[in-house]
Amino acid sequence: MQALPSDVPCSLLSRWGILFSHPRDFTPVCTTELGRATKLAPEFAKRNVKMIALSIDSVQDHLAWCKDINAYNGEPPVEKLPFPIIDDHKRDLAVKLGMLDPDERDGQGMPVTARVVFIFGPDKKLKLSILYPATTGRNFDELLRVIDSLQLTAYKKVATPVDWKPGDSCMVVPTISEEEAKSLFPKGVFTKDLPSGKKYLRYTPQP
């Protein structure tokens, strides 16, 4: 797993962390994204997740843009969001973390940051990365679901199947023997019969 560079702000390192970049301030899709991230900030906090955004714009632009984001959310237009936005106008972090989009450029022909999502665990290691193009806005509700899965599977010997949501049944990982599964999952293990006869689809209620 990739580790964070030493110059990433310390606020990201004490808990789970999500670092997400956007192409530019004062742009339509980015405004809707950070507006949704702002609305969901309490949900991320409940999960012990520190949020931080990044773009190649200046601090002054970030502060002014925050007013637009809050106004978009129907809130007073103040220069504050529930998470910081990194000023990476020199593109130092964007280059180190591979966040630049070679197909999207600013008025000076310089590449801008893509819609990247990095999620880091308390061990400061990368747990998940997602890259979206500039034209596709992210789903921050899905990021919450992903964090729920990452946190569950970090501490329990289960995996989460397709479309899993908190409270749904989980899957017993293949490295767990039948005997060990019985002791680890007292709520029971259900094995789905398959034409191959292999017993690898094993479900258990979320521990």
pLDDT interval class at 129 (50, 70, 90): very high
pLDDT in tens, 26-80: 999 999 999 999 999 999 999 999 999 999 999 999 999 999 999 999 999 999 9
Consecutive H or E run containing 7: none
Each residue of 81-109: b (16+ CB within 10 Å) or e? Answer: bebbbbbbeeeebbeebebbbeebeeeee
At 45 the pLDDT is: 95
At 60 the pLDDT is: 96
Alpha-carbon radius of gyration of the chain: 20
Of the listed ranges 6-15, 85-94, 110-119, the least confidently predicted one is 6-15
Q: Which of 57, 87, 92, 123 is catalytic?
A: 123
pLDDT in tens, 139-172: 999 999 999 999 999 999 999 999 999 999 999 9
Residue 13 has pLDDT above 50, yes or no: no
- Per the CATH hierarchy, to which homologous superfamily does domain 10-143 belong? Glutaredoxin (3.40.30.10)
Topology annotation, domain 156-204: Antioxidant, Horf6; Chain A, domain 2 (3.30.1020)
∠ CA 73-74-78, rounded to 5°: 85
At 14 the pLDDT is: 56
Residues of the chain with CATH 3.40.30.10: 10-143
Instruction: Supply 102's token pair.
Output: 């070679």
Residues of the chain with CATH 3.30.1020.10: 156-204
The residue with greater pLDDT, 125 or 2, is: 125
Residue 201 has pLDDT above 80, yes or no: yes
Q: Which of 25, 18, 11 is nearest to 47 (CA)?
A: 18
Known active-site residue 66:
no
Distance CA 4, CA 82 (A): 22
Give the predicted TM-score (pTM) of the model. Answer: 0.87
Q: Which of 30, 66, 101, 170 is catalytic?
A: 30
Percent of the residues in the chain that have a pLDDT greater than 70, as a whole number: 93
Known active-site residue 25:
no
The helix/strand/coil state of 149 is: helix
What's CA 206's distance to the chain center, in Å? Answer: 22
At 54 the pLDDT is: 96
